[in-house]
Amino acid sequence: MSETTLKDRPLTAHATQRRRFIRDSALAALAAGTLAACRKGEAAAKTASHGPAGHPPATPAPAALSPREKADEMDRMHEAGIKAFPAKTKGKGNQLMTPRLDGGVKVYELTAREIDWEVSPEKSVKALAYNEEVPGPQIRVREGDRVRVVLTNKLDESTAIHFHGLELPVDQDGVPFITQPPIKPGETYTYEFTVPLGNSGSHMYHSHHNAAKQVGMGLLGAFIVEPKSPRSIEQVDHDYVFILNDGVHGYTFNGKGFPATEPLVAKLGEKIRIRFMNEGMMIHPMHLHGMHMTVIDKDGWPQPAPWKCDTLNVAPGERWDVIVNCNNPGTWAFHCHILPHAESDHGMFGMVTALVVQK
């Protein structure tokens, strides 16, 4: 799947080309547009250098502060987090991967290894990653495609890949001792299969060996299968993937915690698709401000009829696809509504981002 091919696909994310644009747009919107009403005191500027949520600035002992000073201090931490958004961090996951073509086969070469991963500014963690990305590179193919995934294991424990949601021959299912031997440290293992017709939609690939640890630490990615004949409701302007996780890395969207999460950006009147995927251990009811979501697919299968909501409960292993008609301009909070996954008295953190609808 070359970039050239990619550009011709109406359903595709165009992730690579759009990245710089997104950050610039979001910053512009935040700086110039919807935040015009906000106070911008010196205090915020002063504390911003202390870093955002999770890193409280050094303060005098609380006993020394008046109630109003304490309130101001809390607000400064909150503001610093918002102002830092979208914060630059090292590393980016879920990048669209261009396969190597071998005859008619799309070849994806993955290497699993331990890396340092910056979840949010100044918060670096040990991660297990495919190709040094958390989530791993986004694999995006079409139903009927012949696909080869070559995994090299540079971890110090065995592993295997399960293609979650794909209905493959059993020897490609990726469950050690049931469908294959474990892939030992240092070994390379090849999966190869034809993506079944009728099996399009939002799927995942992830470790199925010592998986509570390996998936929790990052061995996971999106495996998206585009349909041969898209439905009209799928004709969208942007296609976002939203992988939720909640393990030792904290509460993350696509491997990052707020303010390092990436905003979703659309122009007024555009339609976007969001593919929620939960790779964590907890439910995450995703709440969008300002506009509703129209749910179209569950685990890649169309719902009998689309239905609307503003808070969508996503359980571990589930994928839900929604459409948002971006008809309300502004910068809209978009977060898990289990509030301790999104905010503390030090400000927003974890599972928070924004949908920016530009006039």
In the region spanning residues 161 to 200, those forming contacts with its own copies, defined by CB under 8 A, are 162, 164-165, 167-171, 173, 175-182, 184-186
Hey, CA dihedral for 65, 66, 67, 73, is it positive or negative? negative
Which residue lies nearer to its own copies by CB, 6 or 157?
157
CB 280 within 8 A of CB 246: yes
In whole angstroms, the minimum distance from the beta carbon of 8 to its own copies comes to 30
In whole angstroms, the minimum distance from the beta carbon of 183 to its own copies comes to 10
How far apart (Å, rounded) are the C-alpha atoms in residues 295 and 180? Answer: 36
Q: Which of residues 103-132 bind its own copies (CB under 8 A)?
A: none
Between the alpha carbon of residue 110 and those of residues 30, 154, 189, 219, 274, the distances in Å are 37, 10, 10, 11, 25
How far apart (Å, rounded) are the C-alpha atoms in residues 110 and 117? Answer: 17
Query: What DSSP character marks residue 183?
Result: B
Between the alpha carbon of residue 292 and those of residues 109, 116, 194, 287, 327, the distances in Å are 38, 37, 36, 9, 10
Residue from 13, 82, 96, 128 in contact with its own copies (CB under 8 A):
82
Which residue carries 């021959």 as its tokens? 169
Q: Which of residues 261-300 bind its own copies (CB under 8 A)?
A: 281-283, 285, 287, 289-292, 298-300
Which residue lies nearer to its own copies by CB, 96 or 264?
264
Q: Does 38 help bind its own copies (rule: CB under 8 A)?
A: yes
In whole angstroms, the minimum distance from the beta carbon of 60 to its own copies comes to 17
* Cβ neighbour number for residue 160 with a 10 Å cutoff: 26
In whole angstroms, the minimum distance from the beta carbon of 253 to its own copies comes to 16
How far apart (Å, rounded) are the C-alpha atoms in residues 37 and 97? Answer: 41
In whole angstroms, the minimum distance from the beta carbon of 307 to its own copies comes to 5
Q: DSSP E strands: which ranges in 123-232?
A: 123-130, 139-142, 146-153, 161-164, 188-194, 201-207, 220-226
CB 358 within 8 A of CB 267: yes
Residue from 48, 74, 107, 125 in contact with its own copies (CB under 8 A):
74
Which residue lies nearer to its own copies by CB, 1 or 355?
355
How far apart (Å, rounded) are the C-alpha atoms in residues 328 and 156? Answer: 49
SS3 298: strand
Per-residue x/- track, 199-238, its own copies (CB under 8 A): ---------xxxxxx-xx----------------------
Q: Which of residues 3-22 bind its own copies (CB under 8 A)?
A: none
In whole angstroms, the minimum distance from the beta carbon of 121 to its own copies comes to 17
Query: What DSSP character marks residue 157?
Result: S
Which residue lies nearer to its own copies by CB, 5 or 190?
190
How far apart (Å, rounded) are the C-alpha atoms in residues 317 and 326? Answer: 28
Which residue lies nearer to its own copies by CB, 118 or 321?
321
Which residue lies nearer to its own copies by CB, 146 or 213?
213
Taking Cα atoms as reference points, which of 84, 95, 70 lies closest to residue 31? 84
Q: Which of residues 324-343 bind its own copies (CB under 8 A)?
A: 328-333, 337-340, 342-343
In whole angstroms, the minimum distance from the beta carbon of 284 to its own copies comes to 9
Q: Does 75 help bind its own copies (rule: CB under 8 A)?
A: yes
Which residue lies nearer to its own copies by CB, 99 or 221?
221
Q: Does 310 help bind its own copies (rule: CB under 8 A)?
A: yes
Which residue lies nearer to its own copies by CB, 125 or 291?
291
Residue from 2, 4, 37, 229 in contact with its own copies (CB under 8 A):
37
Q: Does 309 help bind its own copies (rule: CB under 8 A)?
A: yes
